[in-house]
Structure 1
Amino acid sequence: MSKRRIKKIAVIGSGIMGSGIACHFANIGVEVLLLDIIPRELNDAEKAKGLTLNDKVVRNRIVNDSFTAALKSKPSPIYHQSFAQRITTGNMEHDIAKIANVDWIIEVVVERLDIKKQVFENLEKYRKPGTLITSNTSGIPIQFMSEGRSDDFQKHFCGTHFFNPARYLKLFEIIPGPKTSQEVLDFLNGYGEQFLGKTSVVAKDTPAFIGNRIGIFSIMSLFHMVKDMNLTIEEVDKLTGPVIGRPKSATFRTVDVVGLDTLVHVANGIADNCPKDERHELFKLPDFISKMVENKWLGSKTGQGFYKKEGKDIKSLDLNTLEYRDKQSAKFATLELTKTVDKVIDRFPILVNGKDKAGEFYRKNLAALFAYVSHRIPEITDQLYKIDDAMKAGFGWEHGPFQIWDAVGVEKGLELAKAEGFNVAPWVQAMLSTGSKTFYTVKDGASYAYDIDKTSQEKIPGQDAFIILDNIRKSNEVFKNSGVVIEDLGDGILNCEFQSKMNTIGGDVLAGLNKAIDLAEKDFDGLVVGNQAANFSVGANIGMIFMMAVEQEYDELNMAIKYFQDTMMRMRYSSIPTIAAPHGMTLGGGCELSMHADKVVAAAETYIGLVEFGVGVIPGGGGSKEMALRAQDTFRKGDVELNVLQEYFLTIGMAKVATSAYEAFDYGILQKGKDVVVVNKDRQIATAKAYARLLADQGYTQPVPRKDIKVLGKQALGMFLVGTDAMEASHYISEHDKKIANKLAYVMAGGDLSEPTLVSEQYLLDLEREAFLSLCTERKTLERIQHMLKTGKPLRN
């Protein structure tokens, strides 16, 4: 790969997508120049101030307004607000010459070929030869855009299609133009994966490329099926959501968020430009969609779409009458059968055999999908795994179409398609006749996919930088119980992978963690605690705590909390290096575990925090102790130590959750100079393993337990109690909130000692455990735990 370096980029066009792309490059440390057009006329505010079109604030109004709006949007496009300083704004007239100093120009202007060509002509006047130039189009053929441009421009030009929102959706489609050099494609493919944290997929220059071609087919197929099967929008959203590994917003809620006009635009593009598509008819809009577009019911942006908010109520659209009505609940017997099946992929065989309307829906839906994707090879890509990668990374599907087909069974999928009157492409039958019974296989810890040209299973490229736990779990298993699997990652490093529901930490997980440390201390050099589920861990098993507290088994509860604390202390004081690899939701106990590892290798998308206040307790697995210890470790000469301690106290008391790993440094949950962040989650386990190996090779020595923690005693306790009194008096917190806060204050102050004193970690752990236990005897705490178990939401009582 060439030694091309990206230090600075220019983004042309500052709409939602342009600003989102600019923010994501700023996320990874790149300097960004964000440009847009200048306004044609003054707005009222500018007129009132007596400004003219020549004033800089007017010239940059469009870009600055868009960028400000992006930074305020939720979820945030940026990992940390301070990263926004890496972005400079400007306009296409006065600042365009600055593109001569960038390494990559990304065009994100309106989806009109004439405008894009005009922009490229303008850019070519200032672009220095060799600079990458790409378009974030979602559907205009790349070949038309670079017509008439110089050879150097065409050689360095291609499509780079990010999905919205650019920070969160991982798909990065790279679409070559007629003259794009292989060096440019290879560079972008590697850069997207390694630096931007994306799933890079090189696509062919066909309408809507890969992700939208299959994704829009899938949605249009549903639009037509809804009427045929007389389903409600609630029923469809129930059938196409988390139960099959799709986002919570399922189908109709997703369309509302994205905007019906956006979807219609892409569907029309496919209808106009793919006359030979065997399902061409499907891309024509059903009547109810045309009517909604006519009424401007485009979703969230117009205040109503398939759903509409009226006051506090959410109403749903009746597709037969096109009137809004109260939401209805949707229930299907077939879905009940999958409730005990934790792994989504194992649910598909049950779903397609359902005897009710849901079963019929899945048979029709999957038959159409299987047949359609089979015909897209080699039209949109030569490799079937690229279709799966695109659907997982661009549409948030947990499994791609071919993986689902494998789960149902390739032959069974052919039967379903035939029963519904669809023809599957001949290569599938040909694959079966070569003896390949599945699209994918795993060999020696690597994934292989069927290659149609070579008629054999070929290793999927690019996985050498990854460790895929699904691929090594069976062959490298060292130990297993109902809570964890311990795998040998090779090179002397073990991995402890949680397997409990939502990766909650209960007795089995703690036993597994202790076993992992035992094994690593005896026969290995280091331990990683990591998994590749949706979330690292949502915390301790509160159901178990609730049962013990309700039955008043306080001795057993005391033992259980002590076991948790002791396990965390083993993470810190074992004779081998321990690395935690948190990602996604890392709450309560999951956060405490991370804080006790020798090093944290966090995914950038880690939402981490001590949230125990929400269930009426304080962190009891060493989190309260750890925050007191970290506060004292940051005391500097001349500090007002009380203020430092208060910051750490508030992190727990306000149940702060970082919205990215970078924000976790602000809260003292991750530590600067010690913990690291990885942008691509797929690389996380491999990176954590490398750090464990590095620490072992540097001569890791077992740390000595701390006995030098300075606690402030009465002086701090007094301040906290005055504070909680004032907060209760002004109705910021309830009486029970105050009780919890006061218990936490007692722990973090080190009790009511008469003067600042040096204490041991165990001293603080004992205080923490006592406080946790006493809160478990409170009726209001039990009400909070029960409410969380029932609804998944915190109760304020």
Structure 2
Amino acid sequence: MNRTIKKVAVLGSGVMGSRIAAHFANIGVQVLLLDIAPRELTPDEEKKGLTLDSPLVRNRIVNSSLEAAVKANPSPLYRKADVSRIKTGNFDDNLKEIATCDWTIEVVVERLDIKKSLFDRVEQFRKPGTLITSNTSGIPIHLMTEGRSDDFKRHFCGTHFFNPPRYLKLLEIIPTPDTDPTIVDFLMHYGDLYLGKTTVLAKDTPAFIANRVGVFAIMDVLQVMQKLGLTVEEVDKLTGPVIGHAKSATFRTSDVVGLDTLINVANGLAQNLPNDEAKDAFQLPDFLRKMGENKWLGDKTGQGFYKKVKGEGGKSEIQALDLSTLEYKPSAKVKFATLETTKAIDKLADRFKVLAAGKDKAGEFYRQSFAGRFAYVSNRIPEITDALYKIDDALRAGFGWEMGPFETWDALGVQAGAELVKANGKQLAPWVEDMLAAGNTTFYKVEGGVKQYYDAETKGYKAIPGVENFIILDNLRASGKVLWKNSGASVIDLGDGILNVEFHSKMNTLGTDVIQGLLKGVELAEKNFRGLVVGNDAPNFSAGANLGLVYMYALEQDYDEINMMIAQFQQAMMRMRYSSIPVVGVPHGLTLGGGCELNLHCDRVIASAETYMGLVEFGVGLIPAGGGTKEMVLRTAAKYEEGEPELNLLRNTFVTISMAKVSTSAQEAFDLGFLRRGDEVVVNSNRAIMEAKQAAIDLADAGYTMPTQKTNIKVHGKNALGMFLTGVYAMKEGNYISAHDQKIAEKLAYVMCGGDLSAHTEVSEQYLLDLEREAFLSLTGERKTLERIQSILTTGKPLRN
């Protein structure tokens, strides 16, 4: 059947339920969010004379939960207005409304009896043939179907979202033996395409895939650290970005998530895994058990492995828990010789051999923890999944690891990893021994641009299913599709006449090498291809221009060099904008400063939903000068026929730039004017480059012709300039901004108004480009601007001087 999802019921409005509801609202689905009706009045309700029958009281729990979700930071919503798609109610009055829903998701407390009791009531109202799923992190899915109808069983399975659902990409799909296979296929596809998830098919085993392996990894780390006498701070240094994990690493992450969650999952696994060869790893160490008893559960209780206290002079300081004494002490700086040797190694995969070869305590930590992890995941096949790539997918998407355990093992070398396992007294699964004996030395390989994984059952390699919908640049690189490259960028053939320019500078900053790559991409595409995509697979599209270079030239007062650098960037943007082939930008993650300006000059933009886009130059004492100010003025002028007063529109744009506003989602980027009609949002970032390639093909097929530069951009001169200068002066006099903020704002206003022209005038793009470059150049000569740039470069924090 042709199944569509127009309306979803979410039963349970706690942290997970309200956030799942919010994410469905993000993608345009109508949501019915229900929870229990209160059994007693609050003192405030009694004062107001309300009763348990009052609508405000009956929906108090669900409305309070939704209100808390809307106020949460980071927000579960792409736009605050999306909450209008969520209707609230309670199980007693509104459960009958699930008959109007295409999918009912149960997200109540983790107790089987409560879930089954709710399903008894759901069966009274649910429309036959509609989806019914449970979000649980550990309760066996098949137990929930006992006593249910055949139709319920056919359309029922587990859908395990990870918290927060908007930001963590994993969605585990857990069918029962009675689940209709077409339902599983639909959910796998819907989760990927519409919810933007990495959908992983899991077996109905305790904690499924991600929590089973991820919690083992945490508990094993606790054992290794105790053996080696490591501190909380040392372990967090060893298990953070250096191995591709979150900056919050092991213990800070546990504090944020809540130690009760870790304790509950570990206890559940310890009880439910009698045949697990590593079941002892799930036994709580004494310190963790005592922390649970003391309610030291992390951020939710004010202390966990870390605690924030007031130090001398009232200044906050972070203290770390001494696990041997269970007393807090000032957090100590950590340094290991092994880590020092990896500082110059940018590529994550290249670090693991160095880490495992370390001669200090850090090296021993890695050898022991890698050995335990490799042994554990090898023995989980085929128990929790038949395919090793699903374990890697689950850990990357659910725990935020850059590389899954099998990918890490590949980077270290499968043979070397196997020897590490044996040397540490761990048991390797026989299939790995068989794989190596047959001469297969990697878990993954790329052939013909297609990534394959080793299949333990057939003892051969298979293509990873589903990736035909993605373009993975690493796979194309491995297949010889790179046509040109330098240290900052590569030009890659995507096929079908479309090229891609990929950045690979640090944080994808836009320096000379990247600009050269962009120009080469346009040149090659115009000669022999049909279109150009600008996209990459890095965590962020681009953090902007190379500020370090600007700072160095400014210190040396080499303003000619700065002028030339800015002029070259502007010319590259205009060359891209006015080329004979269509150019499609693919922003995602941080898309700041020059990264934003680049996308402003593309013919079309295919943005990932999680795109944080903005012109942030004001924060470092500058204005956008890579065509950003010009383009925003041009876009504002294009709206002058829409009816709103022209100066109001111009003021809104001025505020956006002068406050260095950054969108909190791609949808919000439309509101700020960084995206426009015709640009698209892709919820699953893995699909973005493929979609961009198709957009470039569509533009070419439609008969793309090179646009002509604008010479009729309306600017307002003194009329608007006076308004801006008055407003900025008032802000300064009210102590809302500093004198240097005032200076930057005045220069921005001057550019946006086209200078101090006596009347409305039509000007060219080049006229505005020259103005913005001159303003930028003059600001690099200001001491306070250099102080702001230095602060960002050295501390990562903006300075308001």
User: TM-score normalised to the size of structure 1?
Assistant: 0.99
For residues 253 and 411 of structure 1, the distance between their equivalents in structure 2, rounded to whole angstroms, comes to 33
* Aligned-partner residue type, residue 523 of structure 2: D
Residue of structure 1 in register with 2:433 after alignment: 429
CA deviation string 1:567-600 (max 9, x = no partner): 1111211111000000000000000001010011
Check the 8 A contact 2:615/2:660 in 1, yes or no.
yes
For residues 14 and 87 of structure 2, the distance between their equivalents in structure 1, rounded to whole angstroms, comes to 15
Partner-residue secondary structure (3-state), 1:685: helix
Check the 8 A contact 1:207/1:274 in 2, yes or no.
yes
Residue of structure 2 in register with 1:104 after alignment: 103
Percent identity (aligned):
64
Check the 8 A contact 2:510/2:546 in 1, yes or no.
yes
Residue of structure 1 in register with 2:227 after alignment: 228
What root-mean-square deviation, in Å, do the aligned CA atoms of Structure 1 and Structure 2 show? 0.8
Q: CA deviation at 1:633?
A: 1.0
For residues 700 and 178 of structure 1, the distance between their equivalents in structure 2, rounded to whole angstroms, comes to 52
For residues 175 and 72 of structure 1, the distance between their equivalents in structure 2, rounded to whole angstroms, comes to 32
The one of 413, 417, 423 equivalent to 1:419 is 423
Residue of structure 2 in register with 1:744 after alignment: 748
CA deviation string 1:311-347 (max 9, x = no partner): 3222111111111111111111111111111111111
Alignment of 1:580-595 (within 5 A): 580-595=585-600
Q: CA deviation at 1:636?
A: 2.7
Residue of structure 2 in register with 1:648 after alignment: 653
Residue of structure 2 in register with 1:151 after alignment: 150
The one of 613, 616, 624 equivalent to 1:611 is 616
Residue of structure 1 in register with 2:799 after alignment: 795
Residue of structure 2 in register with 1:494 after alignment: 499
For residues 418 and 795 of structure 1, the distance between their equivalents in structure 2, rounded to whole angstroms, comes to 53
Given the alignment of the two structures, is residue 76 of structure 1 paired with residue 75 of structure 2, yes or no? Answer: yes
Given the alignment of the two structures, is residue 287 of structure 1 paired with residue 286 of structure 2, yes or no? Answer: yes
For residues 269 and 218 of structure 2, the distance between their equivalents in structure 1, rounded to whole angstroms, comes to 13
CA deviation string 1:689-735 (max 9, x = no partner): 00000000000010010000000000111111111111111111111
For residues 330 and 300 of structure 1, the distance between their equivalents in structure 2, rounded to whole angstroms, comes to 23
Check the 8 A contact 2:237/2:249 in 1, yes or no.
yes
Partner-residue secondary structure (3-state), 1:125: helix
Partner-residue secondary structure (3-state), 1:46: helix
Partner-residue secondary structure (3-state), 1:449: strand
* Aligned-partner residue type, residue 717 of structure 1: L
Partner-residue secondary structure (3-state), 1:473: helix
Check the 8 A contact 1:627/1:649 in 2, yes or no.
no
Q: CA deviation at 1:356?
A: 1.0
Residue of structure 2 in register with 1:132 after alignment: 131
For residues 742 and 586 of structure 2, the distance between their equivalents in structure 1, rounded to whole angstroms, comes to 34
* Aligned-partner residue type, residue 416 of structure 1: L
Partner-residue secondary structure (3-state), 1:93: helix
Residue of structure 1 in register with 2:179 after alignment: 180
Residue of structure 1 in register with 2:313 after alignment: none
Tell me: CA distance 1:174–1:638, structure 2 relative to 1, closer, same or farther (3 Å): closer
* Aligned-partner residue type, residue 294 of structure 2: N
* Aligned-partner residue type, residue 580 of structure 1: G
Given the alignment of the two structures, is residue 274 of structure 1 paired with residue 273 of structure 2, yes or no? Answer: yes
For residues 181 and 307 of structure 2, the distance between their equivalents in structure 1, rounded to whole angstroms, comes to 48
* Aligned-partner residue type, residue 112 of structure 1: R
Check the 8 A contact 2:225/2:365 in 1, yes or no.
no
Residue of structure 1 in register with 2:476 after alignment: 472
* Aligned-partner residue type, residue 80 of structure 1: R
CA deviation string 1:616-650 (max 9, x = no partner): 11011011111111111111365321111010011
CA deviation string 1:497-523 (max 9, x = no partner): 001011000001001100100011111
Given the alignment of the two structures, is residue 4 of structure 1 paired with residue 22 of structure 2, yes or no? Answer: no
Tell me: CA distance 1:289–1:637, structure 2 relative to 1, closer, same or farther (3 Å): closer
CA deviation string 1:282-306 (max 9, x = no partner): 1110000011001000011111111
Q: Which runs of 4+ in 1 moved over 3 A?
A: none
Given the alignment of the two structures, is residue 405 of structure 1 paired with residue 404 of structure 2, yes or no? Answer: no
Given the alignment of the two structures, is residue 776 of structure 1 paired with residue 780 of structure 2, yes or no? Answer: yes
Partner-residue secondary structure (3-state), 2:373: helix
Given the alignment of the two structures, is residue 660 of structure 1 paired with residue 660 of structure 2, yes or no? Answer: no
For residues 38 and 79 of structure 1, the distance between their equivalents in structure 2, rounded to whole angstroms, comes to 29
Partner-residue secondary structure (3-state), 1:705: coil
Flag structure 2 segments of 5+ consecutive residues without an equivalent. Answer: 311-315
For residues 3 and 192 of structure 1, the distance between their equivalents in structure 2, rounded to whole angstroms, comes to 16
For residues 703 and 632 of structure 2, the distance between their equivalents in structure 1, rounded to whole angstroms, comes to 28
Partner-residue secondary structure (3-state), 2:125: coil
For residues 117 and 777 of structure 1, the distance between their equivalents in structure 2, rounded to whole angstroms, comes to 70
* Aligned-partner residue type, residue 765 of structure 2: E
Check the 8 A contact 2:585/2:602 in 1, yes or no.
yes
Tell me: CA distance 1:206–1:668, structure 2 relative to 1, closer, same or farther (3 Å): same
Given the alignment of the two structures, is residue 27 of structure 1 paired with residue 26 of structure 2, yes or no? Answer: yes
Check the 8 A contact 2:497/2:529 in 1, yes or no.
yes
For residues 444 and 47 of structure 1, the distance between their equivalents in structure 2, rounded to whole angstroms, comes to 71
Q: CA deviation at 1:557?
A: 1.1
For residues 350 and 730 of structure 1, the distance between their equivalents in structure 2, rounded to whole angstroms, comes to 56
For residues 733 and 38 of structure 1, the distance between their equivalents in structure 2, rounded to whole angstroms, comes to 49
* Aligned-partner residue type, residue 752 of structure 1: D
For residues 366 and 746 of structure 1, the distance between their equivalents in structure 2, rounded to whole angstroms, comes to 59
Residue of structure 1 in register with 2:628 after alignment: 623
Residue of structure 1 in register with 2:561 after alignment: 556
Alignment of 1:379-778 (within 5 A): 379-474=383-478, 475-636=480-641, 639-671=644-676, 673-778=677-782
Partner-residue secondary structure (3-state), 1:197: coil
Partner-residue secondary structure (3-state), 2:440: coil
CA deviation string 1:150-185 (max 9, x = no partner): 111111111000000000001100111121111111
For residues 582 and 138 of structure 1, the distance between their equivalents in structure 2, rounded to whole angstroms, comes to 33
Check the 8 A contact 1:8/1:31 in 2, yes or no.
yes
Q: CA deviation at 1:556?
A: 1.4
The one of 326, 342, 345 equivalent to 1:341 is 345
For residues 276 and 601 of structure 1, the distance between their equivalents in structure 2, rounded to whole angstroms, comes to 48
Q: CA deviation at 1:250?
A: 0.6
